């Protein structure tokens, strides 16, 4: 079974190695000569562009791991060949471009919002469904990690995350947390956002985003940045009968039950997994999707478009300096 992987950067390399360990034969498309050589060293057949792909080359799925600026065109190309597509998040640079994919066979698209396969998030969602926290008042989503620490083997200034034209920046790349908020609570009615560059990082993209999502009697705060040390990644939810904290760095979930105003009963659940375990689980799910006749996926295009809608509203709010109504797609 052959999969075509477009892009052999950090995540493309990870997916290629994981897929190979699962018995998938990977073919790589990569324009960078150093990465071409690396892919060849690992034993992969390599092409410099999709234009070099001939009709004789057999593959049944496409894994798109390029910067967001290329996502829509490469997805359209793959869908035009009748292939199922794994598309790394986010869908594109903006909502208008992303919406173009609805004209194609979009049910064959599988969006790679990795946190949806994280066991801690599974436990959090299950707890919200099965346990009563009473009326929910407030939730916060926080992600902070210094860009210099992401790829220690390369200069962060040359990384796509540093460039606006390629689709870098914290709002697009860490939209994982926007997707998780939608999964838990749906689309908000209104959004307030601040998008900025405030650190000393030598980048042209945003490195800080603060946003608030307003629901009926419920507020979600979201703070995303790419300059923080030590790293931070967590979700906290508060209701009148309990609270829940999911710390992805310490790999622990904590539920606290409020029996009375003076008595709290925290319950700790520790998790034992490696980061790559989540990527492997996601790819196993994609392989099942490719092999089956089903178009059912955990994160379909429709969800990816909802994320792009909120990204658009955060940008608008930041520019206008006021709350923005979300509406629907």
> Which neighbouring-strand residues pair with 329?
none
Which run of H or of E encompasses 280? helix 275-291
pLDDT digits (tens, 9 = 90+) for 7-40: 999 999 999 999 999 999 999 999 999 999 999 9
Q: Average pLDDT, stretch 220-225? A: 98
The upper half-sphere exposure of residue 296, i.e. CA atoms within 13 Å in the direction of its Cβ, equals 2
pLDDT at 247: 98
Per-residue confidence band for 42, with pLDDT thresholds at 50, 70 and 90: very high
pLDDT at 259: 67
Q: Average pLDDT, stretch 89-115? A: 96
Give the other-Cβ count within 10 Å of 59's Cβ. 18
Block residue for tokens 């052999």: 8
- Encoded tokens for 19: 């897929």
Task: Output the average pLDDT for the chain.
Answer: 95
Give me the domains of the chain, ranges plus CATH numbers. Answer: 2-114+279-298 (3.40.50.720), 116-273+307-325 (3.30.360.10)
The gap between the terminal CA atoms of the chain, to the nearest Å, is 37
pLDDT digits (tens, 9 = 90+) for 124-173: 999 998 877 889 999 999 999 999 999 888 899 999 999 999 999 999 99
323 torsion bin: left (phi>0), alpha (psi -120 to 50), beta (else): beta
C-alpha span between 20 and 27 (Å, rounded): 10
> Which neighbouring-strand residues pair with 270?
252
> For the chain, what's the residue count?
329
Q: How far is the CA of 193 from the CAs of 7, 134, 216, 317, in angstroms?
A: 32, 28, 18, 5
pTM of the model: 0.96
Question: Cis bond leading into 230, ω under 30°?
Answer: yes
pLDDT digits (tens, 9 = 90+) for 58-89: 999 999 999 999 999 999 999 999 999 999 99
pLDDT digits (tens, 9 = 90+) for 235-269: 999 998 899 999 999 999 999 988 666 677 789 99
C-alpha span between 288 and 58 (Å, rounded): 19
C-alpha span between 205 and 160 (Å, rounded): 10
C-alpha span between 106 and 121 (Å, rounded): 26
pLDDT at 262: 62
Which run of H or of E encompasses 278? helix 275-291
- Per the CB < 8 A criterion, the answer to whether 109 and 301 are in contact is yes
Q: How open is the CA angle 155-158-163, to the nearest 5 degrees? A: 135
- Per the CB < 8 A criterion, the answer to whether 146 and 230 are in contact is no
DSSP state letters, 307-318? HHHHHHHHHHHH
Give the other-Cβ count within 10 Å of 102's Cβ. 11
To the nearest 10 degrees (0 to 180), the angle between helices 10-21 and 275-291 is 70
> Which neighbouring-strand residues pair with 95?
none
């Amino acid at each position: 079974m052959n999969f075509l992987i477009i892009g052999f950067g950090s995540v493309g390399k990870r997916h290629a190695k994981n897929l190979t360990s699962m018995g998938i034969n990977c073919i790589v498309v990569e324009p960078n000569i150093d990465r071409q050589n690396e892919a060849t060293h690992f034993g992969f057949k390599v092409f410099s562009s999709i234009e070099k792909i001939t009709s004789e080359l057999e593959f049944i799925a496409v894994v798109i791991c390029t910067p967001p600026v290329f996502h829509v065109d490469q997805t359209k190309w793959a869908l035009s060949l009748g292939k199922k597509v794994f598309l790394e998040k986010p869908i594109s640079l903006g909502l208008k471009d992303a919406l173009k994919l609805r004209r194609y066979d979009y049910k064959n698209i599988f969006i790679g919002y990795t946190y949806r396969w994280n066991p801690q998030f599974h436990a959090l969602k299950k707890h919200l469904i099965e346990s009563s926290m009473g009326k929910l008042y407030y939730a916060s989503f926080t992600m902070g990690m210094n860009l210099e620490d992401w790829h220690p083997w390369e200069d962060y200034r040359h990384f796509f995350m540093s460039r606006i034209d390629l689709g870098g920046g914290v709002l697009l790349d860490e939209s994982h947390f926007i997707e998780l908020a939608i999964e838990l609570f749906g689309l908000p009615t209104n959004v307030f956002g601040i998008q900025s560059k405030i650190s000393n990082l030598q980048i042209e993209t945003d490195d800080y985003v603060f946003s608030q999502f307003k629901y009926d009697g419920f507020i979600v705060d979201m703070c995303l940045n790419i300059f923080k040390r030590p790293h931070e990644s967590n979700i906290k939810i508060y209701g009148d009968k309990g609270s829940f904290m999911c710390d992805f760095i310490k790999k622990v979930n904590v539920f606290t039950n409020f029996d009375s105003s003076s008595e709290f009963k925290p319950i700790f659940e520790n998790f034992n997994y490696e980061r790559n375990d989540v990527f492997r689980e996601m790819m196993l799910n994609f392989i099942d999707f490719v092999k089956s006749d089903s178009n059912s996926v955990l994160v379909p295009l429709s969800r990816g478009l909802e994320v792009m809608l909120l990204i658009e509203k955060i940008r608008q709010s930041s520019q206008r300096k006021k709350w923005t109504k979300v509406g629907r797609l």
